[in-house]
């Protein structure tokens, strides 16, 4: 068990740099499967999920060499189109190999992911999109067996909701399909735009990235490329909230503030001074935050993966905040842990009412997922005494050396296994 221990009460100060976004890098590793040869990916964070994705790709016959914030993926002509349950269970993003494997091999056997820490998380929109392109699926003993009679065919795919994963799986399938595919109601996340930039450099013909209508002209073959991943807006935002919750002054470099517009606006509403420029942002926290309401939404709305960190901040605000979680049915699981630290939060369906308290008090808590784990560390930075966040392996999945980087900003924090 990995535990992060935080001694609260110190204002953080200084500069921290962020690397590439986990949720871009994982997909940009998968996209390599589409083109035999040696690919290079730069600005890669040293996080557990990158290692897990390397294992998924190794299972398909690719070789991933991880270097210092970069990696190479060597993709063979012939692939083993399988992602087993042991890997899919550890990381749901493994299901993104479905589209590329169907496109390259005409078949795929990928374990169906169950629910996870954030709720049921079905994938029927991925499958419906791929079926419209000609794929056929059968679920046999928990494994999705996909086949494509002939070649995938471009078509119009209208998503019921701008799902990040469904948009990506359909894009992956469409780049090597016959004819054009139009995704209507596509997700607009910056990580998808970055993935499209990488795919276009590989020879794909995709337009409309960053908008809700993405058009893909299928091509016969793609080539390996070198690509540098877009900055991790979630890491940048999390460090911004670390400044906010401690009344500190932190500058984050290597980031793109335009990808955090709504989150920075809410930090400003909470009483923070927010400054930004090309590639950097600075957050100066207030003595005590003011209450703020927000609702999580797909980009460019307030990101669900910034929700727990923001609630940690609002738990010590000078009044009551009301927030609405629109993406995940089980995202509030961390609230009980924050309550152990003295937070006053009540949950009604997808809404939370957060009555700000004067002070939090450190105690042992359990990280239920990546973002909630980070939020509990942030709460610990503000709390009186010591907070021990157990199951910190969740945090390692998405944040490179979180404790070490907070230490460099003046936090008193340590990690034990």
Q: Compute CA 12 distance to the chain's CA centroid, rounded to the nearest angstrom.
A: 25
Three-state SS letters, 7-37: ECCCCCEEEEECCECHHHHHHHHHHHHHCCE
Site string for ligand EPU, 63-92 (x = CB under 6 A): ------------------------------
Residues that contact ligand EPU, how many (by CB under 6 A) = 23
Beta carbon of residue 275, minimum distance to ligand EPU (angstroms, whole number): 26
Q: Of residues 251, 398, 403, 411, which one binds ligand EPU by CB under 6 A?
A: 398
Catalytic member of 116, 269, 293, 401? 116
DSSP strand pairing (280-284 vs 294-295):
unpaired
Is 161 a binding residue for ligand EPU by CB under 6 A? The answer is yes
Nearer to ligand EPU (CB atom), residue 11 or residue 399: 399
Q: Applying CB under 6 A, which of residues 35, 83, 283, 327 lies at the interface with ligand EPU?
A: 327
Q: x/- contact string, 171-200, with ligand EPU (CB under 6 A)? A: ----------------x-------------
Query: For ligand EPU, which stretch binds (CB under 6 A), given 122-130, 134-142, 257-265, 284-292?
Result: 122-130
Is residue 238 a contact residue for ligand EPU (CB under 6 A)?
no
Strand pairing report for 364-366 and 386-390: parallel
Strand partners for 9: none
166 counts as binding ligand EPU under rule CB under 6 A: yes
Element (H, E) at 166: helix 164-175
The residue range among 51-59, 123-131, 133-141, 241-249 that interacts with ligand EPU, by the rule CB under 6 A, is 123-131
Interface with ligand EPU (CB under 6 A), residue from 124, 136, 226, 344: 124
What do you get for the CA distance between the two ends of the chain, in Å? Answer: 6
In this structure, what are the phi and psi dihedrals at residue 317, rounded to the nearest 5 degrees?
-75, 165
User: Contacting ligand EPU (CB under 6 A), which of 6, 35, 82, 164?
Assistant: 164
Does 23 interact with ligand EPU (rule: CB under 6 A)?
yes
How far is Cα 387 from Cα 47, in angstroms, rounded to an integer? 23
Name the token pair of 264: 């920075």
CB of 408 to ligand EPU, least distance (A): 23
CB 44 within 8 A of CB 50: yes
Q: How far apart are CA 279 and CA 171, in angstroms?
A: 28
The Cα diameter of the chain in Å comes to 65
Residue 309 binds ligand EPU (CB under 6 A): no
Closest-approach residue to ligand EPU (CB): 165
Judged by CB under 6 A, the stretch of 115-123, 214-222, 311-319, 355-363 that binds ligand EPU is 115-123
**Is 305 part of the annotated catalytic residue set?**
no
Residue from 26, 34, 71, 260 that binds ligand EPU (CB under 6 A)?
26
C-beta of residue 280 within 8 angstroms of C-beta of residue 251: yes
Strands of 76-127, DSSP E: 82-83, 107-111
As to burial, measured by CB atoms within 10 angstroms (0-12 exposed, 13-18 middle, 19+ buried), residue 140 is: exposed
The answer to whether 32 and 54 are in contact (CB under 8 A) is: no
- In the bound state with ligand EPU, the residue whose beta carbon lies nearer, of 164 and 176, is 164
- Residue placing its CB nearer to ligand EPU in the complex, 85 or 357: 85
Query: Which residue stretch of 54-62, 68-76, 78-86, 158-166 sits at the interface with ligand EPU (rule: CB under 6 A)?
Result: 158-166
Least Å distance, CB 384 to ligand EPU, is: 29
Nearest-angstrom CA–CA distance, 88 and 94: 5
Dihedral sign for Cα atoms in the order 284, 288, 293, 298: positive
**SS3 category, 182:** strand
Give the catalytic positions in this structure: 116
Binding-site ranges for ligand EPU (CB under 6 A)? 22-23, 26, 93, 121-126, 161, 163-166, 187, 304-305, 327-328, 370-371, 398
């Amino acid at each position: 068990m990995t535990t992060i221990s935080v001694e609260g009460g110190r204002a953080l100060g200084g500069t921290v740099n962020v690397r590439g976004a986990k949720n871009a890098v994982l997909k940009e590793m998968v996209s390599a499967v589409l083109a035999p040869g040696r690919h290079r990916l730069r600005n890669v964070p040293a996080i557990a999920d990158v290692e897990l994705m390397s294992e998924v790709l190794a299972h398909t016959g690719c070789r991933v060499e991880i270097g210092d914030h970069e990696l190479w993926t060597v993709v063979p002509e012939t692939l083993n189109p399988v992602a087993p349950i042991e890997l899919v269970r550890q990381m749901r993003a493994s299901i993104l190999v479905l589209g590329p494997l169907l496109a390259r091999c005409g078949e795929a056997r990928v374990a169906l992911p169950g629910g996870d820490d954030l709720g049921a998380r079905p994938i029927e929109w991925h499958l419906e999109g791929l079926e419209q392109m000609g794929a056929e699926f059968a679920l046999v003993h928990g494994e999705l067996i996909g086949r494509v009679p002939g070649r995938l065919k471009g078509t119009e795919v209208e998503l019921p909701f701008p799902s990040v994963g469904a948009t990506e799986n359909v894009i992956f399938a469409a780049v090597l399909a016959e004819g054009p595919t139009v995704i209507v109601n596509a997700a607009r996340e910056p990580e998808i735009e970055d993935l499209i930039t990488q795919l276009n450099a590989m020879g794909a013909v995709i337009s409309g990235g960053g908008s809700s209508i993405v058009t893909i002209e299928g091509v016969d073959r793609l080539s390996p490329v070198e690509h540098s991943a877009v900055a991790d807006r979630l890491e940048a935002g999390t460090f911004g909230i670390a400044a906010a919750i401690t009344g500190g002054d932190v500058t984050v470099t290597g980031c793109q503030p335009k990808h955090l517009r709504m989150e920075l606006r809410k930090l400003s509403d909470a009483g923070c001074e927010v400054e930004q420029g090309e590639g950097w942002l600075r957050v100066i926290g207030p003595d005590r935050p003011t209450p703020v309401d927000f609702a999580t939404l797909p980009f460019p709305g307030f990101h669900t993966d910034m929700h727990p960190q923001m609630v940690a901040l609002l738990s010590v605000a000078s009044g009551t905040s009301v927030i609405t979680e629109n993406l995940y049915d089980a995202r509030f699981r961390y609230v009980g842990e924050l309550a152990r630290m003295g937070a006053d939060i009540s949950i009604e369906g997808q809404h939370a009412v957060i009555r700000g308290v004067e002070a939090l008090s450190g105690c042992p808590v359990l990280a239920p997922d990546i973002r909630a784990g980070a939020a509990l560390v942030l709460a610990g930075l503000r709390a009186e005494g010591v907070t021990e966040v157990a199951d910190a392996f969740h945090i390692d999945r998405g944040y490179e050396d979180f404790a070490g980087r907070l230490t460099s900003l003046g936090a008193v924090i340590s990690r034990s296994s």
